Amino acid sequence: MKFFIDTANLDQIKEAQALGILDGVTTNPSLMAKEGITGADNILNHYKAICNIVEGDVSAEVIATDFDGMIAQGEELAALNPQIVVKLPMIADGVKACKYFSDKGIKTNMTLVFSAGQALLAAKAGATYVSPFIGRLDDISTDGLNLISEIRLIYDNYGFETQILAASVRHTMHIIDCAKLRSDVMTGPLSAIKGLLKHPLTDNGLAKFLADYKKGN
Ligand code: E4P
């Protein structure tokens, strides 16, 4: 399973990259705003900075909600760097734009996906990635992980190549469950990724090894 980090924070992206396990980055307008990145030029420059840190795919989201606007913004984003994946909302014009970019060989990520039917449309439109938001489903008492299972089944039934990118991952167990369910990718915060490291037996065992080494030296 590929690991993407879901942030626009350059320090966190650098830290995940330094761990050696990072495969890409996802961002959205809210994550950009959280870092104080506003204005079209600053946002474009920030995407370039992210691409300079990581080697993998970097999802950059369009703001337009009409087909022509999405095409214009998506083309501008895609021209920034070959790592850029154009992130499009799961609405009718987003599906049309996805098909347009797929036909041109430009990578796409269909975002704000909350149902298997939406994921089926994303695959039919040739999306590179589909982003089911599991945490936001959990927030409304709906099993987000079940959606990953449904999409996996449907995509496997027909051999769709669209990669399932589990999004809105909130904690470490989400990552482990997504891996069990054969999600192709997960995107989550640095805290959830670093949570995978933690085990008290590792810490206790290491402390004992070091103490015993000191006794004999
Ligand atoms: C996905 O690409 C989104 O950026 C993200 O995962 C949303 O997560 P949230 O529900 O924690 O805001």
Residue located nearest, by CA, to atom 12 of ligand 1: 168
Only one residue has tokens 């015993």, namely 212
Q: Please answer whether residues 74 and 62 qualify as being in contact, where contact means their C-beta atoms are separated by less than 8 angstroms.
A: yes
DSSP codes joined into one string, 17-61: HHHT---EEE--HHHHHHTT--SHHHHHHHHHHHHHH-SSEEEEE
Instruction: Quick: pLDDT tens for 55-98.
Output: 999 999 999 999 999 999 999 999 999 999 999 999 999 999 99
> What predicted TM-score, i.e. pTM, was given to this entire model?
0.97
Rg of the chain in Å (alpha carbons): 19
- Assign residue 111 a region (left: φ > 0; alpha: ψ between -120 and 50; beta: otherwise): beta
**Average of pLDDT values for 142-168?**
98
Instruction: Quick: pLDDT tens for 89-145.
Output: 999 999 999 999 999 999 999 999 999 999 999 999 999 999 999 999 999 999 999
- Report the residue among 5, 6, 86 best suited for mutation to probe ligand 1: largest number of ligand atoms under 8 A from its CB: 6
Residue 28 in contact with ligand 1 by CB distance below 6 A: yes
**CA nearest neighbour of 111 among 100, 124, 99, 98:** 98
**Average of pLDDT values for 176-200?**
98
Q: Distance (Å, rounded) from C-alpha 68 to C-alpha 129?
A: 21
